[in-house]
Amino acid sequence: MDTSLILVGLVNVITLTNISLILGGTLLGLFVGAMPGLSATMALALLLPLTYNMDPASGLSMLAALYVGASYGGSISAILLRTPGTPSAAATVLDGYPLSQQGQAGRALGVSLFASFVGGLMSGLALLTAAPLLGVVVLEFGPVEMFAIAVLGITIIGSLAQGSMITGLLSGALGLLVSTVGMDFLTGTPRMTFGQINLFSGIEFVVALIGLFSIPQALRLIEKSNGAAKIASKITDRLIPSFRELKQLMPNILRSGCIGIIVGVIPGTGGDTASWFAYNEAKRFAKDKSRFGKGDIAGVAAPESANNAVVGGALIPTIALGIPGSSSTAILLGALMVQGILPGPNLLTDYGDVTYTLIWAVIFANVGLLLVGLMFTKACVSVTKVPDAFVACTIITLCIIGSFAINNSIFDVGLMLGFGLFGYWLSKAGVSPAPMVIGLILGPVMENSFHQSMLIGNHSFAVFLDSPIAIVLLSIAVLSVFQATPLFSWIRTLRRQ
């Protein structure tokens, strides 16, 4: 059954519409990624509404391509402007910008593109291999196991926050709180709806998401729109890297790709972690470490291969278990929910055709990236110069259209703006919205599966100890909580002494 679904997915992707959507999505991702301040997550949140009326396969293909494109696009402004276009391109700045100052911008971009392609392709293939293996055990995941997964996912919240653990947990708790709005699953009575019928089915996840991710960014862009004009380096040399150079860089690119996949699989860590990790490893393996930071091409290849490899890696837990591996994949999960597909283990069975289409789209998008990248990288130079205020207005317009379109509801537009202002305030207070999104997604999963487990287990907590899968997952969750407490670091220092 699995093989046939894999082929169905392949056939779904290879249509004229979907191939052109993949190419278009990659190009758009390239542009958005190249614009400093616009991350892949935000681009996905903004473009999600465009996919409402597409069939699931086309919509997901486009979003996956956008994600892949943006992962590379971030390196363009990192190399030319010394400003990472996306957070995951921060490590690329270190060696990419010196290279462009030495008149080798083309060489740096070419290697970045090729490394992104190889890293992305590796992760796509890893996804294609891993997903069916996980798919076999899918029926083993009932309410009890889903509860364990949700608990594990919630404990990850702390690590998803940049900066303080406390604010991360606060943001996650807010997400859980918001997720309780709506009809009570067990009794059918409305909760926290204040008699407002528009809130009966809960707060539409995507509405909150668009507000939380996009509006604060638009406001921040407006804030700094009076700043100095951006100066980008010119590309003077050729883009296509030589065969000899690629051969030399290959071990580095492959190693970084593996790092990216593994980091991606771990929920809560994303492209930024992976690219720093890969950069450090590249430096450790290099014969001449002194050239790093002064324009070593290996310092461009490593983070770029890794941050594109994160895409496929992060999709593995997203697809197999319904737990997003990063905030970008959380949005892809939202895209599935918009299409009426609930996150969970049945993504690989009941909705296998859609899921495999997504996997193939990731693979094809990487091939598309190579083509689109070669043709349009030079055009991206002008994109990096678009005034911030203009970008901000476009973002807000898209937010309004997007939040209206999901339910044809003006109420949702107001809700989105409310979340936007709240998100802006949160970001001023140094609280990341990413854990809130995880809370929003996992809250209902955790609540519902808990109730279901208790009903199945005759109201006894022992039901969670009957399932080996649940025991393992819950143990990991307990461990990850302890690992974050002072107790753990105290033990570590004791051992060191």
Partner 1 sequence: MKLLSASVLAVAVATAPIAVHAEYSAGDEITVLQGFKAGGGSDALAQLTQPFLTKLLGVDMVNQYIPGAAGAIAWTRLAKQSKNDGGTVSITNTPMLVTNYIMNDAITYSIDELTPIANVVTDPGIIVVPSDSPFKTVEDLFAAAKKNPGRITVGNSGVGGDDFFSAILVEQAAGVKFQSVPFQGDGPSATAAMGGKIDASFNNLGNVYGFVQSGDLRALAIFTKERVDFLPDVPTLVEKDMNVVAGSSRGYSAPAGIPEKAREELIAAFESLKTNEEFKAIAKERALVLDIVTGDDYLQMMKSMETDYKKIWKEIKSDVAK
> Based on CB atoms, which residue is closest to partner 1, 351 or 376?
351
- Nearest approach in angstroms of CB 48 to partner 1 is 15
Q: Give the one residue of 180, 248, 448, 480 binding partner 1; rule: CB under 8 A.
A: 448
For residues 292 and 93, is the Cβ–Cβ distance under 8 A? no
Q: What is the DSSP pairing of strand 182-183 with strand 190-191?
A: antiparallel
> Based on CB atoms, which residue is closest to partner 1, 245 or 350?
350
From residue 87 to residue 126, the character string flagging contacts with partner 1 as x (rule: CB under 8 A) and all else as - is ----------------------------------------
Q: 16-34 and 2-13 helices cross at what angle (nearest 10)? A: 70
> Based on CB atoms, which residue is closest to partner 1, 388 or 412?
412
* Closest residue by Cα to residue 73 from 120, 119, 39: 39
Count of residues that interact with partner 1, criterion CB under 8 A: 37
CA angle 213, 218, 223 (to 5 degrees): 130
For residues 210 and 45, is the Cβ–Cβ distance under 8 A? yes
- Nearest approach in angstroms of CB 58 to partner 1 is 13
Q: Tokens representing 341? A: 């597909």
Q: Give the one residue of 180, 248, 280, 349 binding partner 1; rule: CB under 8 A.
A: 349
- Nearest approach in angstroms of CB 458 to partner 1 is 7
For tokens 């390196």, what's the residue? Answer: 75
Q: Give the one residue of 193, 280, 480, 483 binding partner 1; rule: CB under 8 A.
A: 193
> Based on CB atoms, which residue is closest to partner 1, 398 or 415?
415
From residue 206 to residue 245, the character string flagging contacts with partner 1 as x (rule: CB under 8 A) and all else as - is ----------------------------------------
From residue 169 to residue 188, the character string flagging contacts with partner 1 as x (rule: CB under 8 A) and all else as - is --------------x-xxxx
From residue 456 to residue 485, the character string flagging contacts with partner 1 as x (rule: CB under 8 A) and all else as - is x-x---------------------------
Interaction with partner 1 in 51-70: which residues (CB under 8 A)?
53
Q: Cα dist. 7→4, 21, 284, 354, 359 in Å?
A: 5, 20, 41, 11, 11
Query: In whole angstroms, what is the distance from residue 271 CA to residue 264 CA?
Result: 7
- Nearest approach in angstroms of CB 350 to partner 1 is 6
CA angle 57, 272, 214 (to 5 degrees): 60
Q: Cα dist. 309→107, 114, 255, 303, 338 in Å?
A: 21, 12, 11, 10, 26
Question: Looking at 105-113, 224-232, 328-336, 453-461, which segment touches partner 1 (CB under 8 A)?
Answer: 453-461
Interaction with partner 1 in 403-432: which residues (CB under 8 A)?
407-409
- Nearest approach in angstroms of CB 176 to partner 1 is 18
Query: In whole angstroms, what is the distance from residue 378 CA to residue 307 CA?
Result: 21
SS3 270: coil
Q: Applying CB under 8 A, does 190 fall inside the site for partner 1?
A: yes
Euclidean distance between the first and the last CA atom of the chain, given in angstroms as a whole number: 56
- Nearest approach in angstroms of CB 326 to partner 1 is 25
Q: Give the one residue of 3, 16, 197, 290 binding partner 1; rule: CB under 8 A.
A: 197
Query: In whole angstroms, what is the distance from residue 13 CA to residue 362 CA?
Result: 10
> Based on CB atoms, which residue is closest to partner 1, 276 or 419?
419
For tokens 């997504």, what's the residue? Answer: 358
Q: Other CB atoms closer than 10 Å to residue 42's CB: what's the count?
A: 24
SS3 381: helix
Query: In whole angstroms, what is the distance from residue 325 CA to residue 312 CA?
Result: 10
Query: In whole angstroms, what is the distance from residue 67 CA to residue 421 CA?
Result: 26
Sequence-separated (6 or more) residues with CB below 8 Å from residue 425: none
- Nearest approach in angstroms of CB 412 to partner 1 is 9
- Nearest approach in angstroms of CB 220 to partner 1 is 32
> Based on CB atoms, which residue is closest to partner 1, 204 or 272?
204
Query: In whole angstroms, what is the distance from residue 364 CA to residue 13 CA?
Result: 8
Q: Applying CB under 8 A, does 189 fall inside the site for partner 1?
A: yes
Q: Give the one residue of 7, 231, 455, 471 binding partner 1; rule: CB under 8 A.
A: 455
> Is residue 235 left, alpha or beta, with left meaning phi > 0 and alpha meaning psi from -120 to 50?
beta
- Nearest approach in angstroms of CB 462 to partner 1 is 15
- Nearest approach in angstroms of CB 73 to partner 1 is 32
- Nearest approach in angstroms of CB 200 to partner 1 is 3
Q: Applying CB under 8 A, does 344 fall inside the site for partner 1?
A: yes
Query: In whole angstroms, what is the distance from residue 372 CA to residue 289 CA?
Result: 33
Longest dimension (CA), the chain: 72
For residues 34 and 379, is the Cβ–Cβ distance under 8 A? no
From residue 120 to residue 149, the character string flagging contacts with partner 1 as x (rule: CB under 8 A) and all else as - is -------------------xxxxxx-----
Interaction with partner 1 in 277-336: which residues (CB under 8 A)?
none
Single-letter amino acid code for the residue at 204: E
Residue 190 DSSP class: E
Binding stretches for partner 1 (CB under 8 A): 53, 139-144, 183, 185-190, 193, 195, 197-198, 200-201, 339-340, 342, 344-346, 349-350, 407-409, 448, 451-452, 455-456, 458
